[in-house]
Amino acid sequence: MTEQSLELFKRNKLMVKLLWGCLVLGIGASYSSMDTIITLLIYGLPVAVICSVLARMRRATDRYGRNDLCGIDYRTICGFR
């Protein structure tokens, strides 16, 4: 793995931790409204689980040194280059 790939994995893990933290804070902040808690669990929990799985996936580089799948590159998704 290149140094750039390792840095990307670290950032992806941090972003997923922030996502989980926001989900927990959202559920905690809406403790009086059961409808909001259920909505957060129905929609937020699967998204957080999928992001966790994708952020921890690591594939070996191919013979040309390219990464086939190395987690989520948030800069590409957001359009920053």
Reference 76, options 3, 6, 23, 11; nearest CA is 11
| Rg (alpha carbons) of the chain, rounded to whole number | 16
CB 30 within 8 A of CB 37: yes
Quote the pTM value.
0.67
| pLDDT, position 34 | 94
| pLDDT, position 78 | 59
- 29-67 confidence digits (pLDDT tens): 998 999 999 999 999 999 999 988 888 776 544 444 555
User: Could you give the CA distance from residue 80 to residue 74 in angstroms, rounded to a whole number?
Assistant: 8
Domains in the chain: boundaries: 3-78
